[in-house]
Structure 1
Amino acid sequence: MSKRTADQGGMGAGPLKDRDRPDAMDVDEKPNEMGEFEDEFEDEFESDDEIIEAGVDGRPDAEREAEEAAAMDVDGGGPGTFIVGRTQLDPGQTLTPDTSTYKMLHSLSTPWPCLSFDIVRDRLGEDRSVYPATMYTVAGTQADSNKAADNALMVMKFSGLSKMNAEDGEESSDDEDDDEDADPILESKSIPIGSTINRIRAHQAPSSDPSRPFTTLTASMTESTNVFIHDISPHLAAFDTPGTVITPQQNKPLCTIRAHKAEGYAVDWSPLHPAGKLLTGDNDGLIYVTTRSDGGGFVTDTRPFQGHTSSVEDIQWSPSEASVFASASSDGTVRVWDVRSKSRKPALTMQISNTDVNVISWSKQQTHLLASGADDGEWAVWDLRQWKPSADASKPGRPTPIASFNYHKEQITSIEWHPKDDSIVAVAAGDNTVTLWDLAVELDDEESKDTAGVQDVPPQLLFVHYQKLAKELHWHPQIPGALVATGEDFSVFRTISV
C-alpha cells in the first residue's frame, strides 16, 4: 500500500498507488544540518504568478465589499468565494493565507520531503504561550528513488517561531515576548536509515540514567519492511549542548523488528505501558506486538493478529484500556482487538466505508469516540458504545456515525482530535488542505439563513489552511492550539479560531 507517498501533482491530483514515489525536491546535494529559514511571505510579490489573498487585495474597501456582496448573491458562492474542492484556480494563480487569521504561521523546509513525523514532548513547560516558541520533532524522509541510501530519521528542533506581527491581527499579551521578528530556525540531527520511512512515532519511557528523567524512543516503519527502534535521547540533548558529537554507535537502532514480510504504515506506542509496548501493521493485513522488557530489550510476539483482508493503514491503542487497540484497513473496516486474546482475532469488526479507511484517531477526552478518515474524502466520528459484535463473523456490522462530513473531495491523509478540547478535530486531505472542525457548533434557523449563500460548507468547519501535498498533522500537546503539518514542507501554525 503506498497511497501515503507524496503526490507529484497539484490540487486535485489522485493518490499514487503501487509504490509510486515522487520526484525529489530541488535541494543541494549536502545541505547544512542547521539552517535559517526566511519568512515564506517575504518575496511573494516578486513572483510573476498572480497571488490571491483573501480580504487583502489593495483595492478600496467599498469596491471590494461591493464585489463580495455581489458574489454572495450567487447560489453556491460566487467568484469572490474560494471553496476547497469546488473552486478552480486559473493557470498561474496560487493561494496565499490571510495572515490576520493566524496567531503564528511558519514554513520550514527539509532536505527531502517527509511522509510522517511526530512531536516530542519537552521540558519547557505545559500550556505555554510565550513567543518565540520552540518545539522538538522527529520525521522520516522520502528521498528520490535513485538516492534511497540518503534516507534518514531526522531529529529536529524548531525555534524562533514568532507570533504574527500586530498589524497582521495578532494582539500582544502579558505572557508573550515582544520579539515578533525572530527568524525561524531548524536544527537537525540525522540518523541514516537507507529506506523510506512510511510512518514514525515517538515514545518517552522512564530512564535508569539519573541525569535524564526519561528515554525518548522512536519506531520507524520502512519501505524495506523492517521496523527500527532508536534511542534519540542523545540527539535531543545535543541541541542544547554545543559541540556535542553524535557517535556512530548512538545512531544504531536498539532493535530491528523483522517480523513483517511486507512494508507497512501502521505503528503506535501504548500510552499506558510506560516502558514501551509497540503495535505495527503491514500491507499483508498482519499486526504484531513488540514489548520492551524491564532490562531494556525488545521482544516481538511472532503470532500476528489476523482478520483484515487487506492492508492495515493505521493503528491506535486505546487511551483508557491498556490491552485494547483499534486498526483501520483498506478493506473498509475498523476492528477492535484485545492483546490478551489467544485467538489473535478481533473482538469487533465494523464496515464503516466502501473505500479504504486511511486513518483513525481515538479521543483522549471522550474515550468512547473514534474519528476516521477514508479514501473517498469522507471523515466521520463513531460512538464505540454503539458497536456490538456481529452474530456472523463473516458479515461485519455497519454502524451509523454520530457525525460525518464529505467536504473534502480527495483522500483523508491524517486526522487528530485536539488534545484538550473534545469537540475540535484537525483533518489533512489530498486536496492540499488542513481543516479545523468544531463538532459543538449547531446553527439555529436565523444563522442558517445567514450562511445559505455558500453551499456545501458545513457550519462546523472552522478554518482552512493550504498545505501542499498534505500528509500528516499533529497538535502540539504543550502549546495550546499549535499545529504542525507535513507535506512538501513543514507548516507550523496557530489560528485565531482555536
Structure 2
Amino acid sequence: MRPPKGSKAANGKLGGSAKKGSKGKKNKERGGSSGGSGAGGGGGVQPSAPAVWRPGQDGVDEGEALQYDPTAYDCLHRLTLDWPCLSFDVLPDELGAPRSAFPHSLLLAAGTQAATAGGNSLTLLKLSNLTQGRHGSRAMREDSDEESSSSDEDDDAPPVMHSRALAHVGGVNRLRAMPQRPGVLAAWADTGAVQVFDAVAQLADLAAAPDERAARGKPLRQAPRQAHAHAAEGFALDWSRVVAGRLASGDCAGAIHVWEPTDKGGWLVGGAHQ
C-alpha cells in the first residue's frame, strides 16, 4: 500500500514545531546597515528574530540546530502505539464544550499500518490528565511567584492512556467516526474494502475507565456490520453531518459510492459515481 502523493503516515507520536537557531555561528543581521553609529542608536549587530522551521520547505545549514520553543504550544504530550497510524479521528464526548481548564481529557480513534495484514486494528484511545506543563503562557511566566504550588503538583501527575482495539484485516488508509454516533467507525483498508464496525460498547467501556491506571486491551475480533469492495484502493471517506448514517467512499480510480442507512441497521451501497 502506498499513500497518495502528499500524504505521510504518522509514527504514533504527537510532536510539534521548533524554532530555528544557530550553533557555532552568528545569526544573520536584520536589515542592510552593518556598522557605524546612526542618528538613532548604536552601531551593534542586531540578531535576527527566531523563525518557525517548516519541514519540506526550510533546510538546516551546517552548524545549525533546531531549538524547541515551549511557548509555541499551549499543551504538548507525546504518545506511542504499537504501529504507526496513517489516519485518526477525534471523537465527540459528553464532557461539555468548550473546555479550556487543565487538565484535559479526550477520546480518539486510530487505524494502524502494521507489518502484516492480520496485525492491524482500529484502536480507541482515552487520553486523560493532559496538563499544560511548562508550555504556552506558563512557559513565559514559569519564574513568576503567581504560580501556586497546587498547580505545580497537578502538573507532576503523568498523563494516562487507556485503549480498546478491534481487529482489522489490512492497513487502514482512512478512519472516520460517525458524528451522530461516535462508536460507529468506517475504515478504508489497503485491501480495497470499506467496512463499518460497531464499537459503541467498547467506546462506552473506555469512556468509563478510571484515570488512575493505564490499560491496553487485546484486539477484539468482531465482524463488521457492513462491508463493500471497491474496484480499486482508496483514501476518501466521510460521514454526512446532515443525514445520520449516510457515508461516502471514494477510490483512486475516481469512483465514489454513497452508503444509505436502512431501517434494519445496515446500508444500501449505491452504484459508482465518477
Superposition TM-score tier, normalisation by shorter sequence:
0.7 to 0.9
Distance 1:168 1:140, change over 3 A: same
Among 58, 70, 73, the alignment partner of 2:31 is 73
Secondary structure in 2 aligned to 1:149?
A: helix
- Report deviation, 1:132: 1.3
Structure 1 residue runs without a partner (length 5+): 6-14, 28-36, 42-51, 58-66, 206-213, 307-498
Among 108, 122, 134, the alignment partner of 1:153 is 122
Secondary structure in 2 aligned to 1:107?
A: coil
Secondary structure in 1 aligned to 2:204?
A: helix
Q: Distance in 2 between matches of 1:254 and 1:177?
A: 46
Q: Distance in 2 between matches of 1:87 and 1:78?
A: 16
TM-score in terms of structure 1 length: 0.42
Contact 2:187 2:196 in 1 (8 A): yes
Among 223, 241, 245, the alignment partner of 2:190 is 223
- Partner AA of 1:192 in structure 2: A
Distance 1:168 1:270, change over 3 A: same
Partner residue of 2:40?
Answer: none
- Report deviation, 1:109: 1.4
Q: Distance in 2 between matches of 1:88 and 1:56?
A: 13
> Residues 368-387 of structure 1: matches in 2 within 5 Å?
none
- Report the number of matched residues: 245
Larger radius of gyration: 2
> Is 1:285 aligned to 2:233, yes or no?
no
Distance 1:83 1:99, change over 3 A: closer
Partner residue of 2:39?
Answer: none
- Report deviation, 1:191: 1.1
In the TM superposition, what whole-angstrom CA distance separates every residue of 1:437-491 from its partner, at most 9, and x where no partner exists? xxxxxxxxxxxxxxxxxxxxxxxxxxxxxxxxxxxxxxxxxxxxxxxxxxxxxxx
**Fraction of identical pairs, as percent:** 30
> Is 1:270 aligned to 2:270, yes or no?
no
> Residues 52-451 of structure 1: matches in 2 within 5 Å?
70-73=28-31, 81=51, 83-84=53-54, 85=56, 87-90=58-61, 95-144=66-115, 147-165=116-134, 167-169=138-140, 179-205=154-180, 214=181, 216-239=183-206, 240-241=208-209, 248=220, 251-258=222-229, 260-274=230-244, 276-301=245-270, 303-306=271-274
- Partner AA of 2:176 in structure 1: R
- Partner AA of 2:133 in structure 1: M
Q: Distance in 2 between matches of 1:219 and 1:269?
A: 9
Q: CA RMSD in A?
A: 4.1
- Partner AA of 1:157 in structure 2: K
Distance 1:78 1:129, change over 3 A: closer
Structure 2 residue runs without a partner (length 5+): 34-46
- Report deviation, 1:78: 6.3
Distance 1:262 1:237, change over 3 A: same
Distance 1:177 1:203, change over 3 A: farther
Contact 2:165 2:218 in 1 (8 A): no
Distance 1:185 1:95, change over 3 A: farther
